[in-house]
A and B are shown apart, each in its own frame.
Chain A
Amino acid sequence: MELKINKTGDVITVLLEGRIDANVSINMEQELLSLICEDSPKVIADLSNVVFISSAGLRSLIAALKEAKRQKGDLRLVGIEGHVKEVFEITGFSTIFKIYTTSEDAVSSFGD
């Protein structure tokens, strides 16, 4: 999975796309961890274009969130809708992540 990245100050927005299954999640996790450690621990993952996420994808996001917190940052989410939203809600992950409706809200939340 190639990640599309935008930077606003020290906040990095990562655009995730397509299916996040066990096959792509390992690579995605490594990319997110290296971003957090090398660039900035303040990361927003935009899942607007994600059509499917499995438990493997959720585990990778959790691993990235833990690393961001260890580095005094956070991994916040935007674009959680439809089936992806259903998966986040039934697994309780919607209460673990800070979730925003728009990218702008998510970026400005890091200034709070």
Chain B
Amino acid sequence: MVAGKPTENEMKLKIKAKLENLTVIDEFITDSLRQLGVQDKVILQVQLALDEACTNIIQHAYSGVEGGIIIINCIMSGNDLVIEIKDWGKIFDPTSVPQPDTKSGLFERKEGGMGIFLMKRMMDDVKYILHPGSYNELRMIKHIPQGK
């Protein structure tokens, strides 16, 4: 794990892709956003989006096989918080997963799709960017209101 501050408003975490590390990722984003003065309610929303994104990478891009790497960059750009998540696993575009029907009943409700649905609801923008022959990137943006 490598955590550091490449620039004043950019924080980076490089970590092994395994479910046990979700708590480390959680601590990283919480600490980073607290340093930036972001309020707790917003921190919890970003935490959830990041947790869902990294869980997808661990379970789908790396298919649960350990050894993969995830790199998370947290950048404050004006009023926008930009979270870049990079992996070197299989291409898995979570934004292509159909949105779940949140009004369906218990036994009618299909599994899956809830993670990306939560990501989109917690963040203002979620994009999957392919870098062919290199890495996959999920970029999420949250507008941080005045007063954070």
Interface residues on B, range: 20 to 34
Q: Is B103 an interface residue (CB 8 A)?
A: yes
User: SS class of chain B's interface: helix, strand, loop or mixed?
Assistant: helix
Known contacts A69-B106, A91-B117; decide if A52 and B19 are in contact (CB<8 Å): no
A96 touches B105 (CB 8 A): yes
By size class, the interface of chain A is 20 to 34
A7 interface residue per 8 A CB criterion: no
- Known contacts: A52-B47, A59-B114, A90-B118. The answer to whether A22 contacts B106 by CB under 8 A is no
The contact of B114 among A21, A55, A96, by CB within 8 Å, is A55
**Residue contact B48 to A54, C-beta cutoff 8 Å:** yes
Instruction: Please indicate the chain A residues that have their CB under 8 angstroms from the CB of B19 in the complex.
Output: 21-23
Give residues 62-101 of A contacting B (CB, 8 Å).
62, 65-66, 69, 82-83, 87, 90-92, 95-96
The smallest beta-carbon distance between A94 and chain B, in angstroms, is 10
Chain A residues within an 8 Å CB radius of B114: 55, 58-59, 91
Residue A56 CB within 8 A of the other chain = yes
B41-72 interface code vs A (CB 8 A; 1 in, 0 out): 10011011001100100110000000000000
CA distance A91 to B55 in the complex (A): 18
CA distance A21 to B51 in the complex (A): 8
Whether B8 is near chain A, meaning CB under 8 Å from some CB there, is no
Pairwise interchain contact A23-B117, C-beta atoms closer than 8 A: no
Contact partner of B48 among A23, A52, A62, CB < 8 A? A52
Give me the interface of A with B, judged by CB distance under 8 Å. Answer: 19, 21-23, 52, 54-56, 58-59, 62, 65-66, 69, 82-83, 87, 90-92, 95-96
Known: A21-B26, A21-B55, A23-B23. 19 other contacts (CB 8 A): A22-B22, A22-B51, A23-B22, A52-B44, A54-B48, A54-B51, A54-B55, A54-B118, A55-B52, A55-B118, A65-B106, A83-B44, A83-B48, A87-B48, A87-B118, A91-B100, A91-B118, A92-B103, A96-B109
